[in-house]
Amino acid sequence: MTTLAVATKQLLERLHDPTVDVDAEFVVAPTSMEEAAEILAAAADVGQAVAFYGAGTHRQIGNPVDADLVITTTAMNRIIDYQPDDLTVVVEPGVTLGELEAALTDRKLTAVLPETEPNATVGGVVAAGRSGYRRLRYGPTRDRVLQATVATGYGKVVTGGSPVVKASTGYGMTRLFTGSFGTLGLIGPVLLKLWSQPRATATIVVDDPEVARNAAYRPFAVLGTRGTGRIYLGGTKEEVEAQAEAIGGRSSDGLDWPQPHDPPLRLSFRIPARFVDEAVLAARDLDATGWVAQYGVGIVEAGYDRITSDGFAAARSWAESVGGTLVIEASPDDLRRELGAWGSPPESVELQREVKDRFDPAGICNPGILPGGI
C-alpha cells in the first residue's frame, strides 16, 4: 500500500469511530490508479461513501451525494501517449480540455470534446458523458472513448475496450463507464480517438436553423439562441464557401460558439430532435434567461435565475411525454433534492441496479447520484 492509501485507511477508521465527532470533507489526490484502488478498497471495508471530482466544474450535476471523502484526479494529469499518426491519445483524467486541445494543435487535431469548457477535466467529461456541440457531425463523446481504465468500487484496476480505433472484442466496457458518473468507480486514463481540424471553418447567422440544417451538408452544429440561429461549417475552403453561399445569411470565418454564462440554475431538455422548437418554447415559458438549442441533436440547455415548482413539473412531464427528459444540470443542492435531478427513472432501472451492485457491492461510489438512487 502507498503512504497515501495507508493514511487514508487510518483516517477512514477514525471517521468510523463513533466516539470521534468529525464534520469535514477530506480530499485525497492519488497519483496512480493502483493507489486509487487501494483507497477505494479501504473505503469499501468500512462502508465509507466516496465522491469523485475532477476540476469540480460539474459538481452540481446529478442528485446531491453525501460523502465525507473525496477523491480528486488533480494529481493524475499527464498526457501519457500521443500518437498523432494513428489519431489517438491516452490521457490521465485530471488533464483539462484546454490542456489537451493545446497539446493537439501541433498537428491540427482535436478530441472533439465540449468546446466551451476548457477548465473541465477529461475524466469529469467522460464520467458525465458530456459531449460538445460538434456531436451532430462527429457523434457523442462516448463514440470516441476507445479504452478506459477504472478503479472499481471493489478496489481493483480494470481496463475495458481496446487500444485501436475499431473493435468488437469483448463487452463495451467503455460504453458502460462513459456517463456512469463515478458510480462504478473512479475513471482513470482513457484512450481517445482524434479527428483532424478541417482546413476551413465558418459560422453563419441564419433565420431558421431547421431550414438551414436541411440546406447544409453535414454541418458541425446547428444552434439556436435567443434571437439568432447559427450554423457551423467545416471542410476545405471551397466547400465551406460554396455552402455558405448556398445557405445565405451573414458568414464569418472560424467557429463562434455561444459563450457560456453561469446562471444559478441550468436545465437540459433532452428530447427527440424533431421536438427542439417545442422544447425552446417550453424553456422560454419557464422564463429562461438564455438558452442554446442543438438542432438535429435534441438538446436545449437553458439558464434561469429561478423556477417555479409547478412550471418545472409541467415542463418535465412534457419532456417525458415525448420520450425525453428534463435534467437539472446545475442548482443549489436543496432544489435537486426537492425536484430530483433526473426525473422518472428509465425503464431499465432494475438492470442498472444489478450492474451497480456488481461493480460497487458496498455502495460507496457516488451513491445515489444517478436516477433510481443508483
Partner 1 sequence: MARAVDELTALLGDDRVRDHPLDQHLFAKDAGLRRGGAPIVVFPESSDEVAAVVKIAGAHGMPIVARGAGTGLAGGAVPQEGSLLVVLTRMNRIFEIDEVGRTAWVGPGVVNLDLSEATADRGLHFAPDPSSQSACTIGGNVATNAGGPHCLAEGSTVAHILGVELVTADGSTVILGGEAPDTPGYDLRGVIVGSEGTLGIVTKVLVRLTENHLDAATLLMAFDTIEDAARTVSEVIAAGVVPAALEMMDKPMCVAVENFVQAGYPTDAAAVLLADVLGHPAGTAASIELLSDIAVRNGATSVRVATDESERALLWKGRKSAFGAIAQAAPDYYLNDTVVPRTRIAEVISKTYEIAERYDITLMNVFHAGDGNLHPLVSFDAAEPGMTERVVAAAREMVTVAVAAGGTLSGEHGIGFEKRDLMSSVFSPEDLDAQARLREAFDQDGVLNPGKVLPEGSRCFDWGPA
Please state the closest distance from residue 220 (CB atom) to partner 1, in A. Answer: 13
Between 77 and 144, whose beta carbon lies closer to partner 1? 144
The H or E element containing residue 72 is: strand 69-72
Closest residue by Cα to residue 139 from 244, 296, 280: 296
Angle at 97 between CA 92 and CA 99, to 5 degrees: 80
Number of H helices, E strands in the chain: 12, 18
State the Cα–Cα distance between residues 227 and 206, nearest whole angstrom.
10
Between 156 and 226, whose beta carbon lies closer to partner 1? 156
**SS3 state at 7:** helix
The H or E element containing residue 324 is: none
Residue type present at position 127: A
Between 108 and 284, whose beta carbon lies closer to partner 1? 108
Please state the closest distance from residue 258 (CB atom) to partner 1, in A. Answer: 18
Please state the closest distance from residue 341 (CB atom) to partner 1, in A. Answer: 8
Closest residue by Cα to residue 230 from 260, 202, 206: 206
Between 138 and 257, whose beta carbon lies closer to partner 1? 138
Q: Confirm if 293 and 230 have CB atoms less than 8 A apart.
A: no
**SS3 state at 28:** strand
What is the number of other CB atoms lying within 10 angstroms of the CB of residue 338?
A: 11
Q: Could you tell me how far CA 224 lies from the centroid of its own chain?
A: 21
Please state the closest distance from residue 19 (CB atom) to partner 1, in A. Answer: 23
Residue type present at position 293: A
Please state the closest distance from residue 261 (CB atom) to partner 1, in A. Answer: 22
State the Cα–Cα distance between residues 120 and 124, nearest whole angstrom.
7
Please state the closest distance from residue 239 (CB atom) to partner 1, in A. Answer: 3
State the Cα–Cα distance between residues 304 and 282, nearest whole angstrom.
13
Owner of C-alpha cell 428534463:
326
Between 40 and 77, whose beta carbon lies closer to partner 1? 40
Between 3 and 169, whose beta carbon lies closer to partner 1? 169
Between 96 and 178, whose beta carbon lies closer to partner 1? 178
Please state the closest distance from residue 74 (CB atom) to partner 1, in A. Answer: 25
First to last CA, the chain: 30
For every residue of 263-311, DSSP letters joined together read: -SEEEEEE--GGGHHHHHHHHHHTT-SEEEEETTTTEEEEEES---HHH
Please state the closest distance from residue 129 (CB atom) to partner 1, in A. Answer: 6
Please state the closest distance from residue 23 (CB atom) to partner 1, in A. Answer: 26
Between 290 and 372, whose beta carbon lies closer to partner 1? 372
Between 280 and 362, whose beta carbon lies closer to partner 1? 362
